Amino acid sequence: MHTTVGIIGGGPAGLLLARLLHTAGIDSVVLESRDRRYVEQRQRAGILEQATVDALRACGAGARLDAEGMVHDGIELRFDRRAHRVDFPSLADGRRVTVYAQTEVVKDLIALQLAEGGPLLFEAEVHAVEGADTDRPSIHYTHEGEEQTLTCDYVVGCDGFHGVARNAVPEHLRTTYERVYPYSWLGILADAPPAADELIYAHSDRGFALASMRSPSVSRLYLQVPNGTDPAEWSDDRIWDELDARFALDADPGWRLKRGPITSKSVLPMRSHVTEPMAYGQVLLAGDAAHIVPPTGAKGLNLAAADVIVLARALTHWHATGATDLLESYSDTCLRRVWRAEHFSYFMTTTLHTAPDQSPFETRLQISQLDRVATSHHAAAELAENYTGLPLPTGP
């Protein structure tokens, strides 16, 4: 089989790229190692930047997002047992974010791809990419028990952090930058109304906590826990009591989360990682295949979307004109924005969490920084601009 663009991975990056290419009249094949149900149920991110929402709308994937997504104009920061709201539109040129779960983005894109797009093969496990430095790279994969080869004009690795596409960049040309954090998140889903209308990010002397949501009746909550934590150590009551303790406010001592049955519990480790460059020959990397951020700034899914928006433009330009200039600058164009998001995610993570060996001096610095956001327009605007998403590079 041959296709113009072979896409490895059917997560948000691979599915959005396939849809953007389809709307530009470019054929592609998506190879995804897991089954459809697994990919659609995988509980992950929840916050979409304006540019991600705009891209989903523009490619015809906006109907349910517009009906069910919850537009948020700000977040609350809690620290030192007090609350401060960061108002996005007034600080970041009218920008807002939308709460719409990654599971739903993926379901919408899969439905469109199966109805209108090129092949999307589930349970198609890619083993290797060959010929990256030729004009006919090939993808080797197993599907329905058979070894298969897909030849392509371009291969795009959207196969996440544990994927194989990164290996197509020769080791001596690849540089990896990484930081592993000394804490994880215990994430839960609960059949309980959200704590508030907007998300709450809490710094406390017991560690970080985050109150998010999936719908008016489903809450998504996170607690900082030590690395290696087994979710079974955390009973439902222990989780709710700890969340209430971390969100506590002096001005409102009776404030409590609304409790309800906990339907899922999982522990997520936290890491920052960038692989440079994001391309070699005719193989390009996008999303988690090239970079990971800790989740505190809600950037992972949005960065993946930004990469493929830039890449779809470059491939469309090449397809229409034969010019490869935008494909050649793809890695540099994306990395500039990637490093900004890496810095923001690192800033949010290290400002809000308590490291196991943290000194009282470092805790005072964190509170001073949060107080600065609460009292300086410039500091608050810096947070709001990064959180709502920096502008995408403009197209050709």
Binding site for ligand FAD (CB under 6 A): 8-14, 31-34, 39, 44-45, 102, 125-126, 158-160, 163-164, 268, 287-288, 295, 298-301, 304
Determine contact, residues 78/204, Cβ cutoff 8 Å: yes
> Closest Cα partner for 330 from 274, 284, 392?
284
Residue by residue, DSSP assigns 255-271 as: --PPP--EEEEEEEEEE
Q: Is 177 a catalytic residue?
A: no
Look at residue 31 and give the partner it binds from ligand DHB, ligand FAD, none, a contact being a CB closer than 5 to 8 Å depending on partner kind.
ligand FAD
What is the nearest approach in angstroms of ligand FAD to the Cβ of residue 130?
14
Q: Which stretch binds ligand DHB (CB under 6 A): 244-252, 293-301, 325-333, 357-365?
A: 293-301
Distance CA 124, CA 271 (A): 28
Q: Are strands 28-31 and 2-8 parallel, antiparallel or unpaired?
A: parallel
Rounded-to-integer distance, Cα 118 and Cα 94, Å = 37
Q: Is 220 in the site for ligand DHB (CB under 6 A)?
A: yes
Catalytic residue among 141, 154, 181, 387: 387
CA gap 185, 268 in Å, rounded? 5
How many residues would you count in the chain? 396
Residue 105 CB, shortest distance to ligand DHB, in Å, is 12
- For ligand DHB, the closer of residues 74 and 295 by Cβ is 295
The yes or no reply on residue 169 touching ligand DHB (CB under 6 A) is no
Are 179 and 346 in contact, with CB atoms under 8 Å apart? Answer: yes
How far apart, in whole angstroms, are the C-alpha atoms of residue 134 and residue 111? Answer: 34
Residue 113 binds to ligand DHB (criterion: CB under 6 A): no
Report whether 192 contacts 260 (CB < 8 A).
yes
Burial class (CB in 10 A: 0-12, 13-18, 19+), 377: exposed
Active site residue 38: no
Convert 145-168 into a string of H (helix), E (strand) and C (coil). Answer: CEEEEEEEEEEEECCCCCCCHHHH
Burial class (CB in 10 A: 0-12, 13-18, 19+), 50: buried
Q: Which of 45, 59, 286, 373 binds ligand DHB (CB under 6 A)?
A: 45
387 is catalytic: yes
User: Least separation, in Å, of the C-beta of 246 and ligand FAD?
Assistant: 17
Residue nearest to ligand DHB (CB): 46
158 binds, among ligand DHB, ligand FAD, none (CB under 5 to 8 A by kind): ligand FAD
**Residue 292 binds to ligand DHB (criterion: CB under 6 A):** no
Is residue 221 within 8 A of residue 188, CB to CB? The reply is yes
| Residue owning tokens 């309980």 | 192
List phi, psi (to 5°) of 27.
-85, 150
Catalytic residue, chosen from 100, 201, 222, 280, is 201
Report in angstroms how near the CB of residue 121 gets to ligand DHB at its nearest: 28
Q: Select from 3, 52, 212, 224 the one that contacts ligand DHB (CB under 6 A).
A: 212
The CB-of-368 to ligand FAD minimum distance in angstroms stands at 27
Nearest approach in angstroms of CB 360 to ligand FAD is: 30
30 binds, among ligand FAD, ligand DHB, none (CB under 5 to 8 A by kind): none
Q: Indicate which residue of 295, 317, 330, 353 is catalytic.
A: 295
Binder of residue 367, out of ligand FAD, ligand DHB, none (CB less than 5 to 8 A by kind): none
For residue 82, the minimal CB distance to ligand FAD (Å) is 25
| Cα–Cα distance measured from residue 295 to residue 339, given in angstroms and rounded to the nearest whole number | 15
Cis peptide bond prior to 226, omega within 30° of 0: no
Tally of CB atoms within 10 A around 277: 17
Choose, from 291, 299, 317, 353, the residue flagged as catalytic.
299
| By the rule CB under 6 A, 199 interacts with ligand DHB | yes
Q: Catalytic site residue 72?
A: yes
Catalytic positions, written as ranges: 72, 201, 295, 299, 387
Q: Which residues bind ligand DHB (CB under 6 A)?
A: 45-47, 199, 212, 220, 295-296, 298
